[in-house]
Each structure stands twice: as C-alpha cells, then as structure tokens.
Structure 1
Amino acid sequence: MRRVGRAVALILALAVAAGAGWYLSPKPAAPLAPPFAASALSDAPALAARGPHKVGVMDVSLINPDQPNLLGINPVTRSIPRADRKLDLLVWYPASLSPGQEEKTQYSFTTPVVADIPTGNLPPTLSVDGRAARDATPDRQGGPWPLVVFSHGFRNFAAGYTQMAENLASKGYVVVSIEHRDAETGPLMPLELSFGNTVATRAADQRFVIAELSRRAGAAGDPLSGLLDPTRIGLMGYSMGGFGALVTMGAGFDPKGPLYPLVPGGLLDKDVAGSDSLRAAIPAGVKALVAFAPWGGGSRLRAWSPEGLAAVTVPSLFIVGDQDDVSGFADGVKWVHDQMTGSDRRLLIYQGARHNVAGDPTPPQLSHYFQFVERYEEPVWRRDRILAINTHFITAFLDTHLKGSANAGAYLQVPTPKAGDGVWNADKPVGAAMAVPADPATAGYWPGFQRRWALGLEMHHTAATTAQ
C-alpha cells in the first residue's frame, strides 16, 4: 500500500509541478490619457493602472520555531524531526521617496531546474527589474494600510508576482509575498516528499506570517509598526498557495478523502474538518480571499468534503482557466467554488486558458525554451492582458471588502455572466470608449472594459447560502 500511495503522490506532484512560477516585469508603457494612469496598457480595463502612491520594497525574514519537517523523515522508523522554519518575505508598501530616489530595483532568484535542459545551458541566477524603491521610507500618512498576503505555487518564488504586488502597493496596500522554499527534487529528494511537505506546511506558513505581521504592526520600533492594519487583511494564493489559503480560512481536510492518508505522521490532523483546532486557527483579521486556480478539488486526490468547504465564510474571488489541466476545472476549481456555500463568492473564468493564470511573464533569458514557456505562459491569452484583467478585478474586490468602496464594487457587478454577451449602445464610438458603471448607455456591457474588448471571460456571483 505504501508503494501505491507513493506512486499516486508522485503522479500528483508531477502534475502540480507544471504550474506557473516567477517572471520578468516588462518595461512600462508610455503614459495614457484618462481614465488610464501611467504604465497601463492601452487595452487594460479601468482599474488595472497603478495608483497614486510611490512604492517601496523591503526584505523581512521570519523564523517559525519547532516545526515538523517532513523532508527529514527517517526512512526506517518513519519518525518526523522538528526544526525552525525560515520564511523570507518580500514586502511592498506605499513609500515616501527621498530626492533623487527612483522606483527601481531588481529581484534575484535561482534559475529553476528543468530535467531535459542541461544546467550548463542556463544562467545560475536570474535578476529581473521591478518598479519599487528598495528600503524606501514607508508612507504612514494615510495608514495603517490594509495588508495583502500572497502565497505562491509549488516550487515557485516570492518574486514571481511582482507586477501585481507593486500595483496593489501603489493603491494603498501593504503586500507581502512569502518565500516558502519548496524543496527542489533530485536523487536525494523524492518529488513526493517535496510535495507532501508543501501540503503539510502551506497553511501553517500563511497563519504564522499573518500572526507575526499582525503582532509587528503594533510593536514599537518595528519597521512595520503603524504601517499595516491587522484587522483588514486579504489572503491570496496561487495553485498550492490557493490550496493553503482555503485551509487557512477553515476548509478542513476530509479524513476519509484520498489525499489525507498520503501525508504521514498525523501532520494534517489539526486541520481536520470540524475540529476545534482548525476553527481556532482561522485568522480573524482576514476579510477577503483570492484563489488563483487552487489545487485540491480534483476527485482523484480530493482534499475536502463539501461540508469542510462550506465552513469557509470569508468573501472569495476565484480566478481560473476553463481548460486548467493541473488543478482541474469542472472536477477541480469549480467544484471547490460550488461547495463553498458559506462564502459570498465570485468565479472569474478565462475561456481557453489552462493553469497559468497568475504571475509575471517568462524572463527573456528563458523564453526560447518551450519548457519554460509552457510552465509560465498561456497558449491562448497574452500574459500582459491576463495581468491587467486580474489586477482590475482584484482591485475592485479588495477595495470593496478591505476599504468599503462602493465605487469599486460597481465594477464587480457585471450585467452578463459571459462577457461576450454584453450589449453596448450602438451610438457610442469605438475609439477609446469604456463602459462606465453609472452610464445607462453602457449598462449592458462589462463595466471598465472597452467596446468589443470584453471577450473570452465569464464572471459568476453566488451569495452565501449556508448559515454559519
């Protein structure tokens, strides 16, 4: 049975490893006329542009002491050691720049290993450009700012989502991306062990980071003191990060499900559906959940029961491609969405997209290798278009639930579930005309989108129906 379990876990891990990662920020576009601000694409929806704040970025390191370490399991006794777990964070925030200081930085990380590309053919490290001022003075004038915590996919990197993070920081958020340090596989590190450790640690990492940042927000002399608001938190995750975010917010594991017995040592016991330990661990400050293509819903290795998912009560936004072949769509992300009956939830669907609906573009140094393009890009959708649409809807969603903005909420009220079914007043010119929520002439079209350009998308809204 152990051999069968390991084989299933290996297949699972190989599938998840095909997901997206980290990328390079493109050069900013020239300034555009209103309603766009500088650096927005000319075809970007209304809320995609950067906001009014300058952006700073700092590195913060945390240590979560005495954590179980599945990677060190004894192959004979099956005992699991404990060790301190280091979590490095990238923190973006509204900043006050000193004279001559620019929003310019570089994010560096190790080039990932791809089995069929000799490592000697690739640079050992990559450095990508960002639009943030390193260690700039935090702007606390309008704060404390809402906090957004982001959790990456399996074997991805914290610096793989910089464009979205910088954009949100420019709009008055403190954005934190966790470096989970998933173990790279090789002769001494079986893939199923690396993936199993990710299953066991994602939610624990997220909870610890949220708790520690919330503590530091009120700690005198701490760089984060007074900068972030621990009562207004958005939790975001991609793929395995989304899996962890669901557990963090109360989606308890199904002990009779196929995933549960594959993680040894009782490491998932504390997060079983309905347990007191799970309920006690839900962070009270989280008021919004964004899940990009979250893994864990597929029937073959399903993590949750419908009852476990119904326990999530925070408002949620799911973003997924209807051709997702890693997390699955109908038997995967949509199934998870449909079972979360305790949450007021929205489902944004990219028609024709697979799994890579989050993250920055492929670095140009790697773009001539299909192995990397397949890992990070979409076969149908432009990457910059996906980023612009994601940012538009995430801004509307977070501004609604973390800032109480009724104006932002209007952009979530799409008149048709399928964007292509929208109707625009024929008298309106094509040009740069954009549907406006308060304009009766464009009331039948997705607000914030240009005429003819709201296409290939679906947005479904389902109110909570389960009493909690």
Structure 2
Amino acid sequence: MTRLVALALSLALLASAAQAGEVLADGPLLSRAGDYPVGVRVLTLTNPGQPDLMASDLMAGTIARRDRVLPVTVWYPAAKPAADAAKAEYRRPGPTPAAPDVPYKTGAAYADAKPVRGQHFPLVVLSHGYRNWATSFSDLAENLASKGYVVASIEHRDLEPSALPVPQLSFATVLITRVADQRFVLDALQKQAGEGPLKDVYDPANAALVGYSMGGFGALTTMGAGLDPQGPLYGLVPHALLKPFTTLDPSFAAGAPKGVKALVAFAPWGGSPPLRAWSAQGLAAVTTPSLLIVGDQDDVSGYDQGVSWLYAGLTRADRYLLTYENARHNIALNGVTPEQANDFQAIERHEEPVWRRDRILAINSHFLTAFLDAKLKGDAAHGAYLAAPTQKASDGAWPLAQGASVGGQFAGPDDKTTAGYWPGFQRRWALGLQLRHDTASTQNQ
C-alpha cells in the first residue's frame, strides 16, 4: 500500500468518525459534542439594491445595483430524529454563478429536522473566507449546535476570479459585500426570530459573530472598526464604495449590530501592510469581547504585523489571542474530503503542513465553547477553561512521579494537582499553542 493511499484511507476514517459524532481521544475536554441531535436547513435572505460591480460602468462612474440573494445554512438543536431520517448532503458553489452547486460531503446533521423550540438558544452568525463557502465550517457548526447554539453560516458566493474578464473585480466585490452581508443577515435573523421555520428557537438579543479570513475582516468592521479612509485599502475600490464602512459615514457606527455579545475572528485579514485596512483609532472603536485565533506562520493575514497588531489595537475590548505555533492560514475549515487526498491544490487551500486537521478542529471547538458559553450563556465554569496558567502551553507543569501515568485525565480549572497546566488538556498534550488575554482599557471611554 502506498503512502498516498494510506493517507486517503486515514482521512476517510477521520471524516467518518467525525460524522458519527465519535469523541476524538486526544481532543481537549470541551471539544466533545453536546447532547442535542442537530438539524440543518437553508434560509434564503435578500438584501435589496446592493452595488453590482460586474454590471457597472466603472469608467463612466455608473454603479449598477441589484438585489443580493444570500443563502444561509442554519444548524440548530433538533428533536430526536426518526430512525430513517436522512443526514444532510452538503454542497459547495460551482465555479461560476451559472454552474450548479456541487455535493462534497455528508454531514452529521439531519436535513430539515424539527427544531427544539422555546429554549431561545444563543445565535451564532458565521462568515467564511474568500472563495470558501458556508458549509466548509460544518464540523464546527454541528459541534456548537449540539451544545445548544443556533449557527447561521452565510453563503457569500464570492466570484471566481479566473472566470471574470477583469479578475480584480472579484476581490473588490468581497471588500464591499462582507460587512454589508454580515450586518444585513444579523439584522434579518434578529427580526425573524419570532416567525418562520425557526420561530422561537433562538434569542435574537444574544448573539455572536464568527468570521474567518475575509469573514474576520468583515466581522471586525461590522462590530465598529471603521475602515481607514486615508489607508491603502480604501483606494482599491472605486467611486467611494467603501465609504459606508468608514468613519466618514456618520451612520456607520450607529449601524453596528445590537445584541452581539461576542466576536470570534479566525486569521482575520486586513491588519498587515501594505493593505492595512484600519487605523488604531478605528480598531479602538470595537468594544465587543473578542477571541482571535491565528497561526504564527500565517502568510495570508500575517502574524506580527497582522493579527497580533489587530489584537493589540482592540484596546477597548476584553480579548483573547490563541496562537497555533507553526501553523499557516488554514486553521478553521473542515479540511479536504477523502476524494481530495491526492490533490495538492486542495490540500494547500484547506489543510496545514504541520498540524493534524482533526486536532485543530477539536481545539477550536474547545476554545469557542469556553468563550461562547462564558459570554452568551453566563457559564463561568466553562469560562474557567480560558484561564491558562502560562502564555505558552509548553511552559505548563503537571508534576508526576517517575514512571507514573494519569492516562486520559484532563487538567481541571479547580484541580490543585494540575493548577500549572492548561485546563481541559491531557498531560503532555498541551503543546504548540499560546494564549494571551488582555482586559479592556477604560481610557477614552
């Protein structure tokens, strides 16, 4: 058996284990799925009159507008499904707007299952990165939904640049749609909480916004970090189409979503030169408790002058920075399917050269559960798993006699014998991670 065939089989086994809801043996404690079966359905939301660069005459300064149709995939706690209930078949957009969606993965959720009503679960809105898609975060979304969250992932339908006569219009469109899409979807879901197929399922006033890469760029801006009108990014988009997302527009700050109590940004783009999107003043406008997650070798969003710079600038937000040592940019997606195991281009877009995908997803689920449970559910016990005793996981200490073993025991937040070790991790297994925490500054408030 060749190594490549073995890799393909290994990935297939890991995927099937995740879909069956099995516990990852070396995953941190809070990564384990919750007790709820998970349902999934697609809502279609339409934002009227949005700029359409493809139909515009940019030379003449004529900006066309059209209604922007946004499919939103929603995972939610469901009633116990029937024995013959079908699992969801996830699809990704085709290579062009006219091409049909492509099936790529069977999920663990049940399509159109009956939701659990009346408990008003917290709402999590998820925004993907450039040229990703809504269900490329299905593993994380299913995990959160099983724990009592309603997770709504926006299908932004980014234009494939290779299919355009002017490829640059693809990225320019992303810049003018991410924030508008996020603010519109949050507003629409909050207004629809008392109607439709998800009536009385989620609490519109108790929400979180999660973004990856360009979704993280959008999330920071959505929550108040107005783009710098003097910065290098502003001039990339013609005819002041970014102006509504800057402090030049007096309605921008007033339009920040209400009821969003937590912000999570995976590898958010926009902090690194030469296209730095915000000024320090813009970042300081964000007051939402925030968790940023990044690899210290991120060669897309940048680390020292990228995400770390963003983190330092969020001075008025209580904030955490979780760093994967030796990871690049692909720290949030599901990963490749077994069919893509021999496709390096797919691996390069969705996998990490050092980290195991199943372990990244487990660590993400662990920390998001701790953070969201603390901020949206008031769960101080789970919030205690954010209190790492050392910034670098490798500096943690869990003394043990020579030859002794604790097996699969997890370090506990209130366990004196494991007080020097990262809570929620097994001995010797908290490695390759860093966690910073800074409280909000009261200056200039």
Whether these two folds match at TM > 0.5 is yes
Q: Could you say what secondary structure the match of 2:366 adopts?
A: helix
Identify which of 318, 328, 337 aligns with 2:311. Answer: 337
Identify which of 155, 160, 185 aligns with 2:136. Answer: 160
Identify which of 39, 63, 68 aligns with 1:85. Answer: 68
Identify which of 96, 120, 127 aligns with 2:104. Answer: 127
Aligned to 2:3: none
Identify which of 32, 38, 50 aligns with 1:67. Answer: 50
What displacement does 1:273 show? 2.9
Alignment of 1:46 onto 2:29: yes
1:54–1:103: 8 Å Cα contact kept in structure 2?
A: no
The change in CA–CA distance for 1:454 and 1:112 in structure 2 (over 3 A counts) is farther
2:77–2:150: 8 Å Cα contact kept in structure 1?
A: yes
Identify which of 121, 146, 150 aligns with 1:170. Answer: 146
Aligned to 2:186: 210
Identify which of 267, 275, 292 aligns with 1:293. Answer: 267
Q: Could you say what secondary structure the match of 2:17 adopts?
A: coil
Aligned to 2:211: 237
Q: Report Cα offsets for 1:128-175 as digits up to 9, x if no partner.
A: 01001110111014x111000000000111010000000000000000
What displacement does 1:331 show? 1.1
What displacement does 1:125 show? 2.9
Task: Find the aligned partners of 1:253 and 1:394 in 2 and give their Cα distance.
Answer: 27
TM-score normalised per structure 2: 0.92
Aligned to 1:367: 341
1:55–1:92: 8 Å Cα contact kept in structure 2?
A: yes
Aligned to 1:19: none
5 Å-filtered alignment, 1:14-413, equals: 26-28=15-17, 39-102=22-85, 104-110=87-93, 125-141=102-118, 143-186=119-162, 188-219=164-195, 222-273=196-247, 275-413=249-387
Which letter does structure 1 place at the counterpart of 2:313? Q
Question: Which ranges of structure 1 fall in alignment gaps of 5 or more residues?
Answer: 1-22, 32-37, 114-122
2:52–2:63: 8 Å Cα contact kept in structure 1?
A: yes
Q: Could you say what secondary structure the match of 2:311 adopts?
A: helix
Q: Report Cα offsets for 1:78-111 as digits up to 9, x if no partner.
A: 3210100000010000001343244722102246
Which letter does structure 2 place at the counterpart of 1:67? Q
2:104–2:337: 8 Å Cα contact kept in structure 1?
A: no
Task: Find the aligned partners of 1:225 and 1:265 in 2 and give their Cα distance.
Answer: 41
Task: Find the aligned partners of 1:405 and 1:56 in 2 and give their Cα distance.
Answer: 24
Q: Percent identity among equivalent residues?
A: 53
The change in CA–CA distance for 1:317 and 1:41 in structure 2 (over 3 A counts) is same
What displacement does 1:284 show? 1.0
Q: Report Cα offsets for 1:58-96 as digits up to 9, x if no partner.
A: 110011011111232214313210100000010000001
Q: What value does the CA root-mean-square deviation take over the aligned residues? A: 1.9
Task: Find the aligned partners of 1:111 and 1:352 in 2 and give their Cα distance.
Answer: 32
2:211–2:265: 8 Å Cα contact kept in structure 1?
A: yes
What displacement does 1:429 show? 2.2
Q: Could you say what secondary structure the match of 2:235 adopts?
A: helix
Task: Find the aligned partners of 1:29 and 1:235 in 2 and give their Cα distance.
Answer: 24
Q: Report Cα offsets for 1:170-201 as digits up to 9, x if no partner.
A: 00000000000111123634221110110111
Task: Find the aligned partners of 1:173 and 1:423 in 2 and give their Cα distance.
Answer: 34
Task: Find the aligned partners of 2:86 and 2:309 in 1 and give their Cα distance.
Answer: 42
Which letter does structure 1 place at the counterpart of 2:177? T
TM-score normalised per structure 1: 0.88
Q: Report Cα offsets for 1:404-443 as digits up to 9, x if no partner.
A: 0000110000000000000003146241121011100000
The change in CA–CA distance for 1:30 and 1:77 in structure 2 (over 3 A counts) is closer
1:271–1:277: 8 Å Cα contact kept in structure 2?
A: no
Task: Find the aligned partners of 1:283 and 1:124 in 2 and give their Cα distance.
Answer: 31
Aligned length: 428
1:237–1:243: 8 Å Cα contact kept in structure 2?
A: yes
The change in CA–CA distance for 1:161 and 1:355 in structure 2 (over 3 A counts) is same
1:274–1:308: 8 Å Cα contact kept in structure 2?
A: no
Q: Could you say what secondary structure the match of 1:186 adopts?
A: helix
Question: Which ranges of structure 2 fall in alignment gaps of 5 or more residues?
Answer: 1-10
Task: Find the aligned partners of 2:86 and 2:147 in 1 and give their Cα distance.
Answer: 15
Task: Find the aligned partners of 1:433 and 1:412 in 2 and give their Cα distance.
Answer: 18
Aligned to 1:10: none
Which letter does structure 2 place at the counterpart of 1:205? D
The change in CA–CA distance for 1:330 and 1:128 in structure 2 (over 3 A counts) is same
1:103–1:131: 8 Å Cα contact kept in structure 2?
A: no
1:69–1:83: 8 Å Cα contact kept in structure 2?
A: yes
Task: Find the aligned partners of 2:430 and 2:347 in 1 and give their Cα distance.
Answer: 26
Q: Could you say what secondary structure the match of 2:430 adopts?
A: coil
Could you list the runs of 4 or more consecutive aligned residues of structure 1 that deviate by over 6 angstroms after TM superposition?
A: none
Q: Could you say what secondary structure the match of 1:146 adopts?
A: strand
Aligned to 2:425: 449
Q: Report Cα offsets for 1:360-410 as digits up to 9, x if no partner.
A: 020122221111111110001000000000000000000000000000110
Task: Find the aligned partners of 2:52 and 2:274 in 1 and give their Cα distance.
Answer: 26
What displacement does 1:264 show? 1.1
